[in-house]
Amino acid sequence: MNLFSHAALSHWLAAFDAASPLVISGSAAAGLLVTSLVLLGLERRAVRSPVAVAALAALAFAIAWCPVARPGWAPLAAGLVTAALARDRDDPLHAECSLKLLWVMGPALALSWAGLSLLTLATGTPIVIEQWAVLQLGLDPRFLWSTALPLALLAGLVLLGGAPFHFWVADVLQGVRPWLAAAAVVTLQSSGAAWLSSRLEGIGGFPAGRELVSDLLGIAAFAAFVAGAATLLVQRRPERRVGTLASLNGAIMLAALAAGRPPGPAALAAWSGHLALALGGAATVARFLPTFAGPAPGVPLFRRHPWTGIAGLYALASLAGVPGTPGAMLWLASAKALAAAGRTGLLLVLSAAWIAALTAAMRQWRQAFGVAAPAASVPLAGRVPLQARLALWIAACGLVALGALRLWRV
């Protein structure tokens, strides 16, 4: 067989297109894994153990397989994150975040599994596409499936971190150590997106269910955008701002789902890959940003290593959807989907949240560089570890590569 024939070339291109979602998400997960391992080198010797490395590798694997993940993976991901947080007995903030995740994720997963069981009992099949076909026959009472379907989606809403469940994202990014925080949040949010996408597969064949889901997810996205925009305007801690921006990225996934077009593997890979790289860089640079609101000289990172600081702020800007970054394409894609579906009200709220995100990002840039001051009056106190600077460059380079490979590809 001629490996360079037209048929063979078409075969290889088709195989690449089929595998490209996993390539994109896997590459981004690998970048986040390397960033986390570099930051792990800053921890004390007791934390730098093979168990921590194995936990990070498992989280990266869960992110890489987001485009083809099934609902059953979400409880495993939530359990892995909770166990990783509870492992360090000497860190009370880790324990507090672990308990919060248990209180939030546990009941949500239990209710969703109850909804899945009701749908299986009502339709006689656990296969999603077959369930829509059975419900379309109209043999089951509307009350049964209209109650079971929202319950089945609840876990995905909680895992995505949209309001009123957005608090757990900010809590994890503020209270968890840098080497684990971003990986934990991305894993849970990616599992939530995979849960909703797999549960809504083929729902176009059941118009009544599609209308119910569109209204439900539209309300969830509306609340997530409004709460996220309002929260960004009053937050002072950089870690919590980054957490709210991550929550808004979950909201744009909800908006795309509310538009009636569940994202395919390629869209899921682009969204989760971007979230992994952008949140990895933004969560790292947030540790070196000031918490004040007034004018002051720039922080040590931006006085000693300005280009490294810019690389970290580039990741934060992409998370906020600043024009010219890969993240802006994701915001634009959700806006286009809402416009095509005629969801004008939700589109306006998305625009308001996007403006709030831009405002927060620009404010963070201004506070990072501070005001001009004579060199003699600006102390150079505060060492910036090499590992943190390396992590920022890895995230920034990964975002540039992701934008060139997928998000800006025609």
pLDDT digits (tens, 9 = 90+) for 120-130: 988 888 888 88
* Band of residue 378 on the pLDDT scale cut at 50, 70, 90: very low
CB atoms inside a 10 Å sphere around CB 161: 28
pLDDT digits (tens, 9 = 90+) for 181-228: 999 999 999 999 999 988 888 888 888 888 999 999 999 999 999 999
CB 257 within 8 A of CB 346: no
CB 234 within 8 A of CB 367: no
The model's pTM is: 0.88
Report how far residue 84's alpha carbon sits from residue 40's, in angstroms, rounded to the nearest whole number. 13
Tokens of 278: 């952008």
Spell out the domain ranges in the chain: 21-370+382-407
Task: Report angle CA 346, 348, 353 to the nearest 5 degrees.
Answer: 95
Q: Residue 30 burial (CB < 10 Å; 0-12/13-18/19+)? A: middle
pLDDT digits (tens, 9 = 90+) for 47-74: 888 888 999 999 999 999 888 877 778 8
pLDDT digits (tens, 9 = 90+) for 259-311: 877 788 888 998 999 999 999 999 998 888 877 655 555 567 777 778 888 88
Sign of CA dihedral 273, 36, 154, 124: positive
Tokens of 247: 């929550």
